[in-house]
Amino acid sequence: MKCPVCGKECREEDNFCSNCGTRLKASPKGGITLESLDRMIDDFRRKLEDNPKDPNIYYNLALAFAMKGEDEIAMTQLRNVLSLDPSFPDALYLLGKLCLKHKLYEEAKENFRKLLEVEPEREDVRKILLQLER
C-alpha cells in the first residue's frame, strides 16, 4: 500500500506511514499498536543515520515516543528538534505540553513564549501562559 500523502510504499499492517507519519488506517482497537510504534521508532532512527540534522525526523521520533508514553525520551528528541530549528512550532507546543505534564513549569512557559513569537495568533497558547503566570 502507498501512503496517500508522500507516496512511500508501506506495509499492509502499518497504521502510520514511517516516512511522514500519516495515518494509513485505524488499528482494530481504534488506536496504534505498540508494535507499529516500535517499527516507526526503528524506521526514524535509521533515517537519522542518513539525515542527522533533519528536525522533522527528530520530531516524528518524538511523536512516536510520546504516543508510546515514553515522555522523557520524547522530550529529549523535541529538544534535539529545537537545537536544529529553534522556531519549530509543533516541537515548541508538544515540548511545552509535556513539560506541563511533568510539572516543569518554567520550561513550559519558555517554550510557549517562544511559540507565541513564531505564531502570535495562537490564542490557545496565550490562555495556557495566562494560567501558568497566575
Task: Residue 117: give the domain boundaries.
Answer: 87-134
Give the pTM.
0.78
Is residue 6 over pLDDT 80? no
pLDDT in tens, 74-112: 999 999 999 999 999 999 999 999 999 999 999 999 999
Sign of torsion, CA 122 75 4 23?
A: negative
Q: What is the largest CA-CA distance in the chain?
A: 50
Percent of the chain with pLDDT over 90: 72
Contacts 24+ apart (CB under 8 A), 108-117: 108/132, 109/133, 114/86, 114/87, 115/89, 117/87
Stretch (H or E) spanning 123 = helix 123-132
At 108 the three-state DSSP class reads helix
Q: Is 91 contained in some domain?
A: yes
Return the pLDDT at 30: 53
Percent of the chain with pLDDT over 70: 92
Is residue 63 over pLDDT 80? yes
The number of distinct structural domains making up the chain is 1
Return the pLDDT at 28: 47
Q: Is 110 contained in some domain?
A: yes
Return the residue matching grid coordinates 508514553: 69
Return the pLDDT at 29: 46
Provide mean pLDDT across the span 112-125.
98
Q: Is 112 contained in some domain?
A: yes
What value does the mean pLDDT of the chain take? 90
Provide mean pLDDT across the span 49-76.
96
Q: Is 53 contained in some domain?
A: no
Q: Is 26 contained in some domain?
A: no
58 vs 1, more confident: 58
